[in-house]
């Protein structure tokens, strides 16, 4: 019997897949538990349309993410921090600092999506920003010393 999986089922398939299983397994377990629905002609047609719409939506999201990626890679991110007399930072530049600097430039991102190397001195560094699933932007981080008030 052909069924359309609504949820991931271990050793069977992922949500959205059409799989062939024995009648008893489908009718006595998968369908009543809400893991699957019977793959009738109408259900298969509707499933194909859903997949088509999802692919179209996904393509638009990836295109938008690519535009954001180009925007991030085009502009360097400046982070101003306190430094000691010998040029070492008090602490380190964190992903949250880079995310805040990106937000000031108009690119909203979560600090969890920002990867920075260990930065403990002023200069230029390379970091990564995960924009969407497989779309990752390289970001140029410029660390500057904060002006000292005397």
Do 16 and 84 have their domain in common? no
User: Among residues 29, 62, 95, which one ends one of the domains?
Assistant: 62
Do 73 and 105 have their domain in common? yes
Please say if the pLDDT value at position 141 is more than 80. Answer: yes
pLDDT given at position 148: 65
Which domain range does residue 128 map to? Answer: 67-145
- Binned at pLDDT 50, 70 and 90, residue 124 comes out as very high
- Sheet with 114-115, strands from edge to edge, namely 77-81, 135-145, 123-132, 114-115
Per-residue pLDDT tens for 66-107?
Answer: 999 999 999 999 999 888 887 788 888 899 999 999 999 998
150 within some domain: no
93 within some domain: yes
Per the CB < 8 A criterion, the answer to whether 107 and 72 are in contact is: yes
- pTM for the model stands at 0.69
How many domains does the chain divide into?
Answer: 2
- Binned at pLDDT 50, 70 and 90, residue 147 comes out as confident
117 within some domain: yes
* CATH code, domain carrying 57: 3.40.5.10
């Amino acid at each position: 019997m052909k069924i359309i999986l609504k949820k991931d089922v271990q050793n069977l398939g992922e949500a959205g897949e059409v799989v062939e299983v024995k009648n008893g397994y489908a009718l006595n377990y998968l369908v009543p538990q809400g893991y699957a629905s019977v793959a009738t002609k109408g259900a298969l047609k509707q499933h194909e349309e859903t997949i088509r719409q999802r692919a179209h939506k996904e393509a638009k999201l990836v295109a938008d993410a690519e535009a954001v990626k180009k925007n991030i890679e085009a502009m360097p991110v400046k982070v101003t921090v306190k430094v000691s007399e010998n040029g070492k930072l008090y602490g380190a530049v964190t992903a949250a600092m880079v995310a805040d600097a990106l937000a000031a430039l108009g690119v909203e991102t979560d600090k969890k999506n920002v990867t920075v190397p260990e930065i403990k001195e002023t200069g230029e560094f390379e970091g990564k920003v995960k924009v969407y699933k497989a779309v990752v932007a390289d970001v140029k981080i410029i660390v500057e010393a904060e002006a000292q008030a005397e």
